[in-house]
Chains A and B, each alone.
Chain A
Amino acid sequence: MLLVFEQLLNGLQLGVTLFLLSAGLTLIFGIMQVINLAHGSFYMIGAYVAATVTAYTGSFLLGLAVALPVTALIGMLVEMSMLRRLYHKEHVDQVLATFGLIMFFNELTRIIWGRQPLFMDVPAWLSGSIELIPGIPYPTYRLAVIGVGLLVALFLYLMFAYTRIGMQIRAGASNREMAAALGINIKRLYTLVFGLGTLLAGLAGVMAGPILAVEAGMGESILILTFVVIVIGGIGSVRGAFVGALLVGMVDTLGRAFLPLFFRLVFPAATADGAAASIASMLIYLLMAAILIWRPRGLLPAHS
Chain B
Amino acid sequence: MKKIFLALFCIVIIIPATAWSLDPVKIGMVTTLSTKAGYLGEEVRDGFRLALAQGGGKLGGIPVELVVEDDGADPGKARQIADRFIKRDKVKIMTGIIFSNVAIAVVPRVVSSDVIYISPNAGPSLLAGKGCDPNYFNVAYQNDNLDEVVGQYVNEAGFTNVYLLAPNYPAGKDHIAGFKRYYQGQIAGEVYTKLDQSDYAAEIATMRAGNPDALFFFLPGGMGINFLKQFDQSGLNRTIPVFGPAFSFDERLLQAVGSAALGVKNGSQWTHDLDNPANRQFVAAFRETYGRTPTLYASQGYDAARLIASALKSVNGDVAQLTALRTALRAADFESVRGNFTFSSNQHPIQNLYIREVVQDEAGIFTNKTLKAVFTEHSNAYVGECAMGE
Contacts and interface: CB of A to CB of B under 8 A. Distances in A.
B38 A214 contact: no
Given A3-B205, A210-B229, A211-B199, 19 more contacts: A10-B205, A11-B202, A115-B33, A115-B39, A115-B42, A128-B235, A211-B226, A211-B230, A212-B225, A213-B221, A213-B256, A215-B256, A253-B201, A256-B193, A273-B191, A274-B168, A274-B192, A277-B191, A280-B194
A129 interface: yes
B80 interface: no
Contact of B36 (A129, A137, A141, A216): A216
Nearest to B225: A213
Interface string A109-152: 01000111111011000011100000001010110000000000
Contacts of B201: 10, 13-14, 142, 253
Interface in B219-248: 221-223, 225-226, 229-230, 233-235
Given A139-B233, A142-B201, A213-B226, A116 B192 contact: no
A218 interface: yes
Given A142-B233, A212-B225, A273 B190 contact: yes
A52 interface: no
B258 interface: yes
B206 interface: yes
B209 interface: yes
Contacts of B203: 256-257
B196 A121 contact: no
10 contacts: A107-B34, A116-B255, A116-B256, A142-B201, A211-B229, A213-B222, A215-B225, A217-B35, A273-B192, A281-B168
Interface of A: 3, 6-7, 10-11, 13-14, 17, 107, 110, 114-119, 121-122, 127-129, 137, 139, 141-142, 210-218, 221-222, 253-254, 256-257, 260, 269, 273-274, 277-278, 280-281
Nearest to B256: A117
A199 to B, nearest CB: 22
A139 B234 contact: yes
Contacts of A141: 233
A118 B255 CA distance: 7
B198 interface: yes
Interface residues of B, number: 39
Nearest to B198: A212
Nearest to B167: A277
Nearest to B254: A119
B252 interface: yes
Contacts of A281: 168, 194
Contacts of B194: 277, 280-281
- Among B168, B199, B223, B256, which residue has the most Cβ atoms of chain A within 10 A? B199
A181 B252 CA distance: 57
Contacts of A222: 198
Nearest to B259: A121
Contacts of A127: 233
Contacts of A110: 34, 38
A231 B190 CA distance: 34
B36 A260 contact: no
Given A129-B235, A277-B168, A278-B168, A116 B202 contact: no
Contacts of B225: 117, 212-213, 215
Nearest to A255: B202
A212 B206 contact: no
A215 B259 CA distance: 18
Nearest to B206: A257
B67 to A, nearest CB: 20
Contacts of B168: 274, 277-278, 281
B175 to A, nearest CB: 15
A277 B192 contact: yes
A129 B258 contact: no
A257 B206 CA distance: 6
A119 B198 contact: no
Contacts of B118: none
A57 to B, nearest CB: 16
Nearest to B230: A211
Interface in B77-111: none
A257 B202 contact: yes
A11 B205 CA distance: 12
Contacts of B34: 107, 110
A10 B202 contact: yes
B188 to A, nearest CB: 12
B323 to A, nearest CB: 39
Contacts of B38: 110, 115, 216
A165 to B, nearest CB: 34
B80 to A, nearest CB: 19
Contacts of A211: 199, 226, 229-230, 233
A206 to B, nearest CB: 15
B383 interface: no
B198 A221 contact: yes
